Copies of this chain bind each other. A is one copy, B any other.
Amino acid sequence: MENNLSGIAKVRANILNHLNTYQHSETIYNASKYSIEAGGKGLRPLLLFTVLEALGESPDKGISAASAIEMIHTYSLIHDDLPAMDNDDLRRGKPTNHIVFGEGTAILAGDNLLNESFNVIAKDKELTAEVRIRLVETISTASGQSGMISGQMLDIEAEKRATTLEELETIHAYKTGALIKAPVTAACIIADAAQEVTRRLENFSEVIGVLFQIKDDILDMEGNPELTGKNTGSDVKKGKVTYVSELGLDGAKGALADKVDEAYRILDSLNELISTAGLRKIVQKFAERDQ
Contacts and interface: CB of A to CB of B under 8 A. Distances in A.
Interface of A: 19, 22-25, 27-29, 32, 75, 79, 82, 84-85, 102-105, 107-108, 110-112, 114-116, 118-119, 121-123, 128-130, 132-134, 136-137, 140-141, 143-147, 149-154, 156-157, 174
Contacts of A79: 107-108, 111
A129 B132 CA distance: 8
A123 to B, nearest CB: 6
A174 B114 contact: no
Given A129-B133, A133-B122, A144-B116, A153 B103 contact: no
Contact of A24 (B82, B121, B137, B146): B146
Nearest to A85: B104
11 contacts: A19-B145, A23-B145, A24-B146, A24-B147, A24-B154, A27-B153, A105-B156, A110-B111, A115-B140, A133-B133, A136-B136
A147 B108 CA distance: 12
Given A133-B136, A145-B32, A107 B85 contact: yes
Nearest to A102: B84
Contacts of A134: 122, 129
A143 B22 CA distance: 12
A84 B110 contact: no
Nearest to A32: B145
A84 B104 CA distance: 5
A144 B157 contact: no
Contacts of A122: 133-134, 136-137, 140
Contacts of A145: 19, 22-25, 28-29, 32, 112, 115-116
A290 B116 CA distance: 35
A108 B152 contact: yes
Contact of A111 (B22, B118, B149): B149
A134 B132 CA distance: 10
Contact of A153 (B108, B123, B140): B108
Given A112-B145, A115-B140, 12 more contacts: A23-B146, A28-B150, A28-B153, A79-B108, A85-B104, A85-B107, A108-B149, A110-B111, A114-B114, A118-B136, A132-B133, A132-B136
By Cβ-Cβ distance, the 4 closest A-B pairs, closest first, are A84-B103, A122-B137, A24-B150, A25-B150
A279 B64 CA distance: 38
Nearest to A127: B133
A103, A140, A141, A174 — which one has the most chain B CB atoms within 10 A of its CB? A140
A25 B145 CA distance: 7
